[in-house]
Structure formats: C-alpha cells, structure tokens
Amino acid sequence: MSSHDSFSVIRYTIELQSPVLATDIMGEPNSAVSLPYLSGSLLRGALIERYLQNAGRRSSADATKLDAGDDKTRRLFFGDRMRFLNAYPFNPNLRNKEKGRALPKPSAWRKRKDDFRSSEDGRETYDFSRKAFDIRNESTDCAFFWREEQDAALFSPPRRLNVHTQRDSHKGRSTKDSGAIYRYEALAAGMLFQALILTTPDQSEEIVEWLKGATLWIGRARRAGYGKVVINKVEQPDYWRESGTDDSPATVEAGRELHIAFTSDVLLRDGNGQATLDPRGALETALDLPTESLTLLPGRSWAESKIVGGFNRKWGLPLPQTVALTSGSVFVYQTTMPIGWEKLVGLESEGIGERRNEGFGRVLVDWMKDKNKDEAFTSYEIKLSPKSELAALSTDERKQAQTMAERILRRRLDEKLRVEVNHTRLEKPLHKIPLHKTQLARLRVVLRGIQAKRKPGDPDIKRLKQYLADIQQRRSAREQFERARVNESGAFPKLLDWVKAHLAILDKSPEDDEKELDRKERELSEKMIAKWSIAAITLGEGAIVVTATVNEKIAIEYALRFVDQVLYRASKGQGNEERK
C-alpha cells in the first residue's frame, strides 16, 4: 500500500498471555479447536470493548447507545474505510522484518507423493499455479509459511490441549446430570502474532493511542482462563504490502496471465445474490473490466472451500452460515483487456467480497511471479516454540503429573503383557505323565506372595529360590518340571530354566567366584529389563517436563505377572494343546 492510497496503515504485534480459543464452527459439540490465527472479527470486537472502556462505558452492552447515532463509532469500526486484518504468526528473528508476518500457504504448493525425505531436511515443492508439473503430488498439513530468498519454511502454530469437566454450580463438582467432558485445543500461550488495521489518516492517531499497551480478551472460555493477550508494539509504516515486499503489481497486458492469491477467507456472491466460489465476477467489477474479459486456467488454479459463520455478542445470536473460499486459494486467468497497475493496487488495498472490514477478501496480485516458475524450490517444516516459558510445576503438581505419566506407561506395559502371554504356552508332553496342576498351583502361590510386596530384595525372592531348589531334590516333581516345556517364539526351554531366566534367578556353582557371580547376575537383570523396556513416556515441555521409564522394580513386577499368567493359563488347560 503506497502513499497515494486513502488508507493509513497501523501494524501491531500481539502476544498471547494465556491459551486462546479462536474457534471455527466446525467440529464436535463437546470439543473446540482453535483456528491457527486470530480473525479480524475477533480483534475488532476486542478493540470495540477497549474503545468503550476508554469512553467510560463498562461493557459492550453499552454499544447500543453508540450504534444508535454515534457517527464516529460507526466510522471507526463499521465504516467502509476500515479494515481489521487477521493476525498471523509473527517471527521477529527474520532478517527482513517486513516478512516477519507469516502468510497462509498457497493451495498450489504441492510436494512429490513419493518424496519420503524428512520434512525437517527439506523437500522439493512445486508451485502448480506457475506450471502444471507431471508428478504425483500431495499437499502438506502446514497452515502458514515464511519465505526468504528461494526457500520456504512451512509450519503450523503450536497448540495447547486441555480437557475440562462440567461441574454442578451448587455442588461444585460433576454429577450425573452435570458432568460433560470438553476437549479444548487452543493456541499456545507465548505465541506472537502480527495484525494490521487499515483506516483513514484522520482516525489513525486516535486508534494508535488506545492500542498502545492494551490488554485484550478474545475468543471463547474467558472465565476459564483463556483469551488474554497484550499488544506490545504499534507501528505506522509509510509503505506496506501484505507480501512484505517493496514492489507493487505491474501492468498486465492484454493476452497475458493474471495471478490472484487470497491471503484470507473470501465471501462472494453472484449476480443473483447467491453465495459462490467463483471470484471472476467480483474481480472484473473491482478492476472495472467488461464481463468475461478474464478466462480461468483451471489446470493451474487451486482452491478450497469452508463454511463460515460467527457470533454477534450484542444480539446474542449466531451469524448466518455461508460457504467461503479459504485463504491460500490461487486463481490464474488469461486476460483479454489490459489492466493498469493503479487498478491492481486498488484491488489489493480494497479486497473483494463481503465483510471486508473483518479481514475477509484480502488479495495479492502476481505474487512471486518471478520465482521458481519452471522448477521446484526447497521447503522445510519447522516447529515453533512459544516465546514465554511456562512456570515450573509445584511439588504437588509434579507429583500428580508423574503419576499420570506412570499410569500411561503401565497401560502400555499391560498391552505388551497381553501380547506376550498370548504367544507363550506350556506344552503337554506326549506319552508321559504331564505336569500336575498342584505343582503349578504351589509355584503360583509363591509368585503371588512376591507380587503382593513388589520389592526386588524382599525375603519372598529368597523363598522362590529355595522353592525352585527344593524341586530339584524331589524326583517326581523334578521329572514333571523337566518334561514340561514352554513354547516361546518357537523355542522350547525347560519350565524351570524358563522361570529362572525370566525372573533373573542365577544358578550358583562352587566354581563361581564373587566377580563372576556379579557379572552373571547383572547380565540376567539387564536381559529381564530389556524384555520389558518400552519407549519412555514424556508429558509437558520446557520447565514442566515429567518422564516415566521402565526401571528394575517395574521390570521385576511385570516379569512376575508374565510367569504367573502363563502358569495360570496352563492350569486352566488354555494353550496346552498336544502337538500333532
């Protein structure tokens, strides 16, 4: 936007002090997922509340007095010369600060479907609005990008997932009639966003004054601690274009291509007043072109749609829902008439469609037209971290979080235990006396005694060792245990050897010295721990990380449960089918 335009630009940075729920109308009734940005309508509502506070009104309900006949308020927030643009993620560390405000990723950016390289290492990305590449392609899940030189960094803002339980207002807890579960996926606290206000020069100074240092509340669930943001930087640049570049659209000659990219959602209507996804009519009107002077090139145009609604707090009613083109949609047209650069600059300044003062209908013309027209460029997927770190957990909070992590670890170990038990069985010997159930029952009594105490050095471990040694002294019992074989992954060890191996019980001999015994016991213990080791469970980030891992105590517990369950199945005749 240049100096000859009637708009004055106000650019301000927003820092999230708490998670923000800037929700869309899509999703389940008991869940809320935030948009990846702060919409212009949310920001306008928050700024209206700020203005009312400065004007001596205590609540937005007092806006009815202003709406009735206050022309100044109408011009500030509802006039045709006002644009409250969306707040997109901001990166203050880029070399070119003007490009620090991210933009929605164009739908025409595609990657090879058979490119299995890590997204962090970079992938070849193709701009299908410039050329129809003959490759199997797919999109990425990222919502935004930053671009410097020939590369692009793709990303989505970090989110915070919280689960809430509805409480009875009188009892202060959930009840049978009041206990719904709500899942909120909000934008993470500490994130930086940058937004803009386009206004008339005579109003800009006043707006800047009540923007500086403002604390705003936006989005849903404010009473639950969501939605607090602060404005920490307000600027008035002399020149601004949404792409962050210093150039301006060039004149398009007749017969040349016109590239249109939408950097926000667009609400359009056709000549009959019906919602439409075809922007050609609106573009021709905005550019003052004859009807059908733009011819769409469908192979190089990429668009997506969504349902857009909203909520009017003054009325206490939802806004009408209508279909809209999503941000990132790209259209390429063949022109039959020349288009001057002044009209193109005006198109970018004014936008097209409805609700433009809420940030809808933003347009960029011939964006990046000289970059990567015939070849791929490199894109990287990056992960953003919030600017501010969360406070460290208290002792009680850390204890509770550690308990949660250990419960998740044990649930996954229980799944592993079920799989191991189902794949292990005690084989019945052919033409020989099988292992009697009383022998299994006696061994299980000892095992259950150890499980009840769950201490590696407990005397019951010594009792188990003594019991297994006594079996070797009794000929009938010894022969039964030696004939019993355990089928574990195709191996058939003797039952006693299998029990000792899984419980890290070492057979000592007089020839073994103390160092050799220590080495053997350590190796057996490491094998047992390795069998029950799974990936560590990590909850949180930064100063609130808690981790649960499998230690020797947990490994012994699950080894005992494993042996006990295999013997239990054998005593019930499960998995004891004769080998044929």
Q: Are 403 and 395 in contact (CB under 8 A)?
A: no
Query: So what's the pLDDT on residue 429?
Result: 62
| Residue-range domain boundaries for the chain | 8-235, 257-381, 395-571
Q: Are 303 and 329 in contact (CB under 8 A)?
A: yes
Q: CATH number of 8-235: 2.60.40, 1.20.1070, 1.10.760, 3.30.70? A: 3.30.70
Query: So what's the pLDDT on residue 471?
Result: 82
How many Cα atoms are found within 13 Å in the side-chain-facing hemisphere of 228?
7
b/e for 9-23, b at 16 or more Cβ within 10 A? Answer: bbbbbbbbbbbbbbb
Tokens of 43: 């920001």
Q: Which residue numbers in the chain have pLDDT < 70?
A: 1-6, 27, 56-70, 95-98, 118-119, 148-150, 169, 171-174, 179, 313, 368-374, 386-392, 428-434, 452-461, 489-490, 506-514, 516-517, 541-543, 574-580
CA distance between the termini of the chain: 85
Instruction: Report the C-alpha gap between 326 and 330 in whole angstroms.
Output: 10
Residue 219 is classified by DSSP as S
pTM: predicted TM-score of the whole model, two decimal places = 0.66
Query: So what's the pLDDT on residue 391?
Result: 61
Query: So what's the pLDDT on residue 1?
Result: 43
Question: In sequence order, which residues have a C-beta less than 8 Å from that of residue 441 and are 6 or more positions away?
Answer: 571
CB-based burial label for 577 (10 Å; 0-12, 13-18, 19+) = exposed
DSSP output for 332-371: EEEESS-B-HHHHHHHHHH--SS-GGGT---EEESTTTTS
pLDDT tens sequence across 422-431: 888 887 665 4
Query: So what's the pLDDT on residue 533?
Result: 85
- Structural domain 257-381, CATH architecture: Sandwich (2.60)
User: Of all helices (H) and strands (E), which one includes residue 14?
Assistant: strand 8-16
SS3 at position 235: strand
288: left (phi over 0), alpha (psi -120 to 50) or beta: left
Query: So what's the pLDDT on residue 557?
Result: 84
